[in-house]
């Protein structure tokens, strides 16, 4: 079994670190709030460290699961003195490809590997250990890390060189944004037309309109329930990264830009922590 450090115990990282411990790995965790790391160590077989450098020292694998580029950059500065040859650093944060490429180079200079490995599947996927992981980096490092990540990942794909995992995550979020807006408009149309929404979904969900979002979110959307799932604040962060990258590479994302502004409307309504399916709330189906 491997010596693993896990940094960042949010709604995703906390259960992910737990799966590593249950798989038999020697896990040391760190969190900005030490009490949370200590609580994790009390609930699982593992240890809590007071600093990123302490958590990483002697580790073979280092997992990061943080908030945004500045968080990753700041934590990496703190752990960098403990980075050693042969170490594999896996960043599960959804961050920019530019940052991933920079950290890849910095890790390489110390003989370590760096994999950008953003995740999809939400809190439920993390708790069930069934995340999808999109990776960028060297094939040899990915092959080495894959058995470790399998503790919480059901599908792991090496997309390409450093930064490719983060770019693939942007594709994921772009697609989700469009699907959710279409689903919100469809439910709104059905409601305005006086249709039985459950019958409509039953009729169309087995055809070309079917999606994960339709299957898992239509009912809570219809009830105006949004206190669950992937928060609007985090989605806007992800879409910001996608739109910034699009400005760099010349991609045209008019729908994504529009939905991003719709999410800004949701934030203005007080829905910063609502699920991303709350796009329907703009159309009058607010929380009940």
Cite the active site residues: 169
Contact 240, 260 (CB under 8 A): yes
At residue 5, the 3 state secondary structure works out as strand
What gap in Å lies between CA 262 and CA 83, rounded to an integer?
42
Terminal Cα-to-Cα distance of the chain (whole angstroms): 48
Measured between alpha carbons, how far is residue 34 from residues 30, 46, 173, 250, 276 in Å?
7, 14, 31, 43, 30
Q: Which residues of 95-134 are buried (b: 16+ CB within 10 A; e: fewer)?
A: bbbebbbbbbebbeebebbbbbbbbbbbbebbbebebbbb
Q: What is the Rg, in whole angstroms, of the alpha carbon atoms belonging to the chain?
A: 20
Q: Which two tokens stand for residue 259?
A: 């939905």
User: How many CB atoms are located within 10 Å of the residue 148 CB?
Assistant: 20
What gap in Å lies between CA 161 and CA 80, rounded to an integer?
22
Measured between alpha carbons, how far is residue 269 from residues 40, 273, 287 in Å?
34, 11, 11
């Amino acid at each position: 079994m491997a010596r693993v450090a896990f940094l960042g115990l949010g709604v995703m990282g906390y259960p992910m670190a737990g799966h590593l411990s249950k798989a038999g790995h020697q896990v040391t965790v760190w969190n900005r709030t030490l009490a949370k790391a200590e609580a994790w160590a009390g609930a699982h077989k593992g240890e809590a460290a007071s600093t990123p450098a302490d958590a990483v020292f002697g580790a073979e694998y280092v997992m990061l699961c943080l908030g945004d580029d500045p968080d990753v950059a700041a934590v990496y500065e703190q752990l960098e003195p403990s980075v050693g040859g042969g170490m594999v650093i896996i960043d599960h944060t959804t961050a920019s490809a530019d940052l991933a490429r920079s950290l890849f180079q910095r890790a390489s200079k110390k003989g370590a590997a760096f994999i950008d490995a953003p995740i999809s599947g939400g809190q439920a996927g993390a708790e069930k250990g069934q995340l999808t992981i999109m990776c960028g980096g060297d094939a040899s490092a990915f092959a080495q890390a894959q058995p470790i990540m399998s503790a919480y990942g059901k599908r792991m794909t090496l997309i390409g060189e450093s930064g490719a995992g983060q770019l693939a995550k942007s594709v994921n979020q772009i697609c989700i944004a469009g699907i959710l807006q279409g689903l919100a408009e469809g439910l709104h149309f059905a409601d305005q037309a006086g249709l039985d929404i459950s019958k409509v979904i039953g009729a169309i969900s087995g055809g070309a309109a079917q999606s994960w979002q339709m299957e898992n979110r239509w009912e809570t959307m219809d009830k105006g329930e949004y206190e669950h799932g992937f928060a609007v604040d985090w989605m806007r962060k992800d879409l910001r990264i996608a739109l910034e990258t699009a400005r760099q590479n010349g991609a045209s994302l008019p729908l994504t830009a529009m939905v991003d502004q719709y999410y800004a409307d949701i934030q203005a309504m007080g829905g910063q922590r609502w699920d991303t399916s709350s796009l329907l709330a703009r159309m009058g189906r607010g929380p009940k």
